[in-house]
Amino acid sequence: MSSENKLLEKAVKGDRKAQYELYQEYSSRMLVVCMRYSKKQEDAEDILQEGFIKVFNKLNTFRNESSLYSWIKRIMINTALNYHRSKFFDHPMVDVEQMYDLADGELIISDYNFRELLAMLQQLPHGCQAVFNLFAIEGYSHKEIAEQLGISVGTSKSQYSRAKTLLKEILQEAEAIRYERQENER
């Protein structure tokens, strides 16, 4: 039996030390996941704590069908979506048939570090942010996203398109700032 399985077994039985070790093992990586679905660090930390409460309450349902990391990550994503569910509709979502510009070009992001990219994602409206994360980063289909968020497939596609358009604008603005900075340094 692996050390992770032994730790998991103890944590399932309510061993607080084992639960703390699991938290220590996964919390930093899960905070990154929570940050992708949040606008503020404080919200991400709240989601992380709420998510780990769910993890420990449901630990006995983990069946080793996937890695423990994937299972915990799924719980964190669901917790983040539930945490922000009411905010998804602050900005009306439009169906794909109502979109005029469905940009097909891919975003070039290799020149940016993680913190810069995270800050860009956090500038997106909640609906766009969630759909972009679920589709582009987590790999869900638009059908799966639609079911999870209670929206149509077309709305998921339009939110993804809108997110890409907004991210392109944010990237262009960042490039302009970088260029201006370089010019001023000359």
pLDDT (tens digit per residue) in 83-98: 887 665 554 444 444 3
pLDDT (tens digit per residue) in 131-185: 999 999 999 999 999 999 889 999 999 999 999 999 999 988 888 888 888 888 8
CATH of domain 90-185: 1.10.10.10
CATH of domain 3-86: 1.10.1740.10
CATH 1.10.1740.10 in the chain, residues? Answer: 3-86
Confidence of residue 110 (pLDDT cuts 50, 70, 90): low
CATH 1.10.10.10 in the chain, residues? Answer: 90-185
The model carries a pTM of 0.74
What does the DSSP assignment read for the chain? --HHHHHHHHHHTT-HHHHHHHHHHHHHHHHHHHHHT-SSHHHHHHHHHHHHHHHHHHGGG--SSS-HHHHHHHHHHHHHHHHHGGGGGSS----GGG-S----PPP--TTS-HHHHHHHHHTS-HHHHHHHIIIIIS---HHHHHHHHT--HHHHHHHHHHHHHHHHHHHHHHHHHHHHHHHHH-
